Structure 1
Amino acid sequence: MKTIPAQVKILSIDIGGSSIKATILNNKGELKMDYNKVVTPKPANPESVIKAIKVLVEKFPGYDYVSVGFPGYVRNGVVKTAPNLGDSFWKDIDFRKQLEAALGKPTQVVNDADMQGLGVVSGKGLEMVITLGTGFGTALLMDGHLLPHLEIAHHPVSKGRDYDAFIGDKALDEIGEKKWNKRIRKVFKILKTVFNYDTLYIGGGNSDLLDFKLDKNMKIVTNADGIKGGARLWQEDKHPVTHTAMATPSK
């Protein structure tokens, strides 16, 4: 684990289906300013998203690194899927390279649940992070290190529906909170059986709607906690998921 120099500042960005949020972190992942956000543009193609990010951070204080949580499957900074933004816009887009060119700073891009996971876990044992929002985000970490990202959201769970369709925003709107909570109970039972995690962290805007008692090893977390993971992306010489060597901030 590599320590980030104390003076380093990280621009941490969370791209969601409805909004794009950003803040500045110090080397410990502590917020140096309040969150700012803008509405996610439509269509949410790479050009419009980058334009929105540039407008969002235009008046931010200086920063050395950029960390981005993206709602899709990302490998080595290249987007493979972006179901809630539009797969056709994003397939095989080197978003890290595009953002580095747009912002002029070393950048890392990972799945948004992965970044949230880095921000909330204790670093002990097998920990799972899920987000309940537009879709169903997941991350797995072992002793604080990200494991390869799995798009569990697109695994069939009931009558041919995947998790996104079963418990995402659209399902919540269609069936209401009571039936949605019943489905969430089913999903939690599956996750417990399949992953046998030590701790499950539950984030996303819809986590506030849970109406039943959680197990002792389940914990509600906030988006504010999750975006802090942006600092931890830069704490290893070679990150196991991004495979990006620690860069020297540009002057």
Structure 2
Amino acid sequence: MRVSTAFGLDIGGTGIKGGVVDLASGELVSERVRLDTPQPATVAAVLDTAAAVVAQTGWSGPIGCAFPGVVKDGVVGSSANIDDEWLGEHLERHLAARLNAPVRSLNDADAAGLAEMRLGAGVERDGVVMMLTLGTGIGSALFVDGRLVPNTELGHLEIDGAVAESRASAAAREREGLSYEEWAVRLQRYFSHVEQLFSPDLFIVGGGISRKADRFLPLISVRADLVPARLRQNSGIVGAALRSME
């Protein structure tokens, strides 16, 4: 029997979001639940919050989880935007035991990119596609002819002596009170650097700030096509749900 829905859980440095997703359309068929990421974001605290998010929808069944760090075979390999206690922990086993459900996981930007490639702005786009998510940090997902190159983590590139996401993330804009024009100068430096390294054919820009893409994307000049994420702030949830079926 073909499964038509799954639960997508998107763990971020600031919020933990989730919802039931129609796997054919990418639309949420439940409420979108968001709770603040606990601080510190320890293993036990994050698991408790994730369980609360799932419980609010009444969901029972497969769950996909997007996580803010490198994830290989269900194991966390980096923790820049979450507590270091997660390093080396088996995310999938922890969640499966806590939620009593089968769980598949992947990097959060990879999840957003997966959603956009299958159901959003990247549909039927070949060549090199780069998804960048602007939020607490900067997430990246790289696709070559539709195939994901996982865990690129390009927000951690060093540019002009600083980690890129420390100056160009959406959180940095809010923290420093930058106007969109001031922020766009930093984004331009970042996008130009990434374009020089990877020569993508398409940039897709996601994260919650993408709903205001008209305020800053027109200020950025790159050779590649540059578009906002079609699924906007739900890309990570949708991609996580798609991952649960793989």
Fold conserved between structures, TM > 0.5: yes
**What residue ranges of structure 2 are gaps of 5+ in the alignment?**
118-122
Instruction: Tell me, in whole angstroms, the C-alpha distance in 1 between the residues paired with 2:208 and 2:52.
Output: 24
Q: Does 1:124 align with 2:120?
A: no
Instruction: Tell me, in whole angstroms, the C-alpha distance in 1 between the residues paired with 2:154 and 2:239.
Output: 21
Compared with structure 1, are the counterparts of its residues 182 and 83 closer, same or farther at alpha carbon in structure 2 (3 Å cutoff)? Answer: same
Instruction: Tell me, in whole angstroms, the C-alpha distance in 2 between the residues paired with 1:213 and 1:155.
Output: 22
- Superposed CA deviations along residues 174-194 of structure 1, whole A, max 9, x for unmatched, are 261233210111111122222
Q: Does 1:229 align with 2:226?
A: no
- Superposed CA deviations along residues 22-43 of structure 1, whole A, max 9, x for unmatched, are 0012332432212011111111
Mapping of 1:46-195 within 5 angstroms?
46-87=43-84, 89-121=85-117, 122-125=123-126, 126-158=128-160, 160-169=161-170, 171-172=172-173, 173-174=175-176, 176-177=178-179, 178-195=181-198
Which structure's residues are more often helix, by fraction?
Answer: 2
Amino acid in structure 2 at the alignment position of 1:210: F
Q: Give the alignment's TM-score, normalised by structure 1.
A: 0.84
Amino acid in structure 2 at the alignment position of 1:155: L
**What residue ranges of structure 1 are gaps of 5+ in the alignment?**
237-251
Percent identical residues: 29
Instruction: Tell me, in whole angstroms, the C-alpha distance in 2 between the residues paired with 1:111 and 1:202.
Output: 16
Structure 1 residue 211, shift from structure 2 partner: 5.9
Structure 1 residue 107, shift from structure 2 partner: 0.7
Structure 1 residue 124, shift from structure 2 partner: 2.4
SS in 1 for 2:77: strand
Q: Give the alignment's TM-score, normalised by structure 2.
A: 0.85
Contact 1:25 1:31 in 2 (8 A): yes
Instruction: Tell me, in whole angstroms, the C-alpha distance in 2 between the residues paired with 1:231 and 1:12.
Output: 4
Structure 1 residue 223, shift from structure 2 partner: 1.4
For the aligned residue pairs, the C-alpha RMSD in angstroms reads 2.0
Contact 2:9 2:16 in 1 (8 A): yes
1:34 aligns with 31
Range with greater deviation from structure 2 (225-234 or 69-78): 225-234
Structure 1 residue 101, shift from structure 2 partner: 0.7
1:22 aligns with 18
Contact 1:124 1:142 in 2 (8 A): no
Compared with structure 1, are the counterparts of its residues 37 and 8 closer, same or farther at alpha carbon in structure 2 (3 Å cutoff)? Answer: same
